[in-house]
């Protein structure tokens, strides 16, 4: 890796997981700015700017004897502490959109959207796995959304459904001693009602109704097909003049 990064920057992730022997080798490269290839005897110069990252407390590991102190102080020249994702809620939507576009493009899809309910679930989750967990979840969601082009709550894993569900959520009432019931039928009922209301307001004009709901025409058509809705039933009947 040092040879490939010669004259540039080398990023080493999870440096806190390096075994003692590798720590010693890395320290030598940093101190002497030289290395040997695996199985070789020729000494090569290392002209590399090194950036490392870890989610482990290296200073504590130094006191515990599990990480070399001399290597720690060599690496700790210009530390940047990045808070966990749960403490950067403003970044969640931006990162989710980035990963969504990335995986949609990889799958040959040019258009992919995130529903408001799914976005709210992402905001409420605590993200113990930080950005890697968000990236994996968005990859899964894009695959499950498929041709629909919209990531919905059912495309997110179960652990997100059990976090941060507000007791007084709009449209959900809970009687004493009775369970709320499955979420998805209620979401479908709410979505269908919104589509019907938009079509009524626009006299069956699917394009205008879709724009009001923030949907593309294709997604609107798919939703109408899902709920058995036809736009013709909302057109006003015109009477011929006598």
Per residue in 79-110, pLDDT tens?
888 888 888 888 898 899 999 999 998 888 77
> Hey, which residues does 43 pair with through a beta bridge?
36
Per residue in 197-235, pLDDT tens?
888 888 888 888 887 777 778 888 888 888 888 877 776
Which CATH number is 9-75 given? Answer: 3.40.50.300
Q: What share of the chain is helix, strand, coil (3-state, %, to 5)?
A: 55, 5, 40
- Mean pLDDT, to the nearest integer, of 27-53? 80
- Between CA 148 and CA 236 the distance in angstroms is 30
- According to DSSP H, which parts of the chain are helical? 20-32, 58-64, 69-75, 89-106, 116-124, 130-145, 158-161, 183-201, 206-213, 217-227
- Cβ–Cβ < 8 Å for 79, 15: no
Give the Cβ contact number of residue 226 at 10 Å: 13
* CATH 1.10.10.60 domain extents, the chain: 183-234
- Cβ–Cβ < 8 Å for 181, 171: no
- Cβ–Cβ < 8 Å for 153, 183: yes
Give the Cβ contact number of residue 144 at 10 Å: 14
* CATH 1.10.8.60 domain extents, the chain: 85-161
| CATH architecture for segment(s) 85-161 | Orthogonal Bundle (1.10)
CATH of 183-234, one of 2.40.480.10, 1.20.1440.230, 1.10.10.60, 1.10.1740.10: 1.10.10.60
Per residue in 6-37, pLDDT tens?
788 889 999 999 999 999 989 988 888 887 77
């Amino acid at each position: 890796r040092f040879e490939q990064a010669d004259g540039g920057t080398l990023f080493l992730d999870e440096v806190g997981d390096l075994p003692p022997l590798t720590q010693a080798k890395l320290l030598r490269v940093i101190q002497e700015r030289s290395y040997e290839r695996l199985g070789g005897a020729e000494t090569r110069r290392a002209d590399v700017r090194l950036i490392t990252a870890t989610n482990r407390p290296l200073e504590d590991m130094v006191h515990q004897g599990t990480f070399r102190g001399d290597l720690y102080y060599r690496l700790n020249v210009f530390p940047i502490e990045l808070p966990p994702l749960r403490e950067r809620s403003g970044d969640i939507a931006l990162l989710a959109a980035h990963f969504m576009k990335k995986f949609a493009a990889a799958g040959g899809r040019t258009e992919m959207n995130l529903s408001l309910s799914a976005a709210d679930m992402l905001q409420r989750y605590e993200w113990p796995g930080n950005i890697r967990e968000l990236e994996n979840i968005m990859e899964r969601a894009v695959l499950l959304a498929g041709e629909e082009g919209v990531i919905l709550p059912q495309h997110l894993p179960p652990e997100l459904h059990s976090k941060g569900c507000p007791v007084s959520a709009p449209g959900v009432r809970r009687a004493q001693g009775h369970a709320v019931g499955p979420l998805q039928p209620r979401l479908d009922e709410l979505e269908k009602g919104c589509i019907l209301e938009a079509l009524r307001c626009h006299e069956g004009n699917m394009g205008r109704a879709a724009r009001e709901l923030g949907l593309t025409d294709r997604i609107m058509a798919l939703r109408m097909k899902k709920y058995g809705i036809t736009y013709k039933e909302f057109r006003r009947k015109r009477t011929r003049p006598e």
